[in-house]
Structures are given as structure tokens and as C-alpha cells.
Amino acid sequence: MANCKVLPDIGHSDVKIEGNITIYQDKNGTGILYFDVELQGFDGPGLHAIHVHSNAVQGGDCSTTGSHFDLNEGVHGDPTSNIRHLGDLGNLKVSSDGTIKDYLIGDLGMSLHKTENGIISRSINIHAGADDFGMGGTPASTSSGNAGPRIACCTIYMQAVPIFRFNG
């Protein structure tokens, strides 16, 4: 299990987004990653792009996280497309009260283990706008989904899972 504590980007003092993303994968490190998202502080309802980025957050500055996580140097796309970055997770649908409690399913190519495709010590970014899944016909679309600036982010860390043993 991994955890990512989302905070506003230091360059966006008007943003109040915060919360937690917990990431699960079976213990042998194979299979799908599940991103359990619980965030609040959005201005209202709407879609906001969410991506795994290549680097950790430095000093609360989301721009330090590099490009979308991808081992194949591909183009941006829909999370269900065969052509996409590994870190392309799609859009979050924020409710009218400015919160989201939902889950996303990540790419089979990502792992919580310390491997080339591992996401520990990488980051998650929330963008100001919706992801167009590389269909916007511009260079920004095929690189980042035309999702706008990074307004909140977090670094992904392993979280210890307690093991309980009962005798009796």
C-alpha cells in the first residue's frame, strides 16, 4: 500500500485542494493499481485531470515533478487506450460541494515495488482543467491532455501495513 498526501501547488495561493490518495496493489506486486481518491477544496463541480508524474514534488512546487510517467516515451491518451503514458489516469469528477470520493484504476504496467515501472517516490498531479485524452489536435494535447496548470500534487510513499497475528 502507498499513500500520497495532496496539497495545493505553492504557486497557486487561491487553491485550497487537499486530501489523500491511497494506492493498493496485491502483495506480490502484480496486477492492477487501485487509486482511492478522497479530496476536498475544489471550487465546485467539474472535471480535473489526474496524472502520475516522473519525479517527486520538491518544496511544494508541482512544476518540479517532470512529465507524465511513461517508460515508452509515448504520447498522451485515454487511460483505456493502447497508446498512452503509463501515468495517464484520466479525469476526476468533482461533486457540487467541491469534494471527490472515488477510485481510479491504474495501468497494469505500474507497480508499487522498486522496479523500473514502480511509482514510489514519483508524484501525482491534479490539473486545473479536464484531460482531452490527446484528442485536441495540438502539441499540448498529445503531451499533457490540454489539462491546464498543475494546481495540487503529492509525492507517493510506501505506507507500512500492520500485520496482526492472533493466537487462539
Active site members: 51, 53, 68, 76, 85, 88, 127, 150
Cell of 131: 484531460
Q: Residue type for 107, please?
A: D
Which DSSP category does 118 fall into?
B
Question: How far is Cα 64 from Cα 10, in angstroms, rounded to an integer?
Answer: 11
Q: Which of 87, 70, 58 is nearest to 147 (CA)?
A: 87
Length, in residues, of the chain:
168
Task: Collect all residues with Cβ–Cβ distance below 8 Å to 40 and sequence separation of at least 6.
Answer: 17, 18, 19, 98, 99, 100
- The angle subtended at Cα 58 by Cα 57 and Cα 63, nearest 5°, is 65
Scanning the chain, the segments in alpha helix (DSSP H) are 139-144
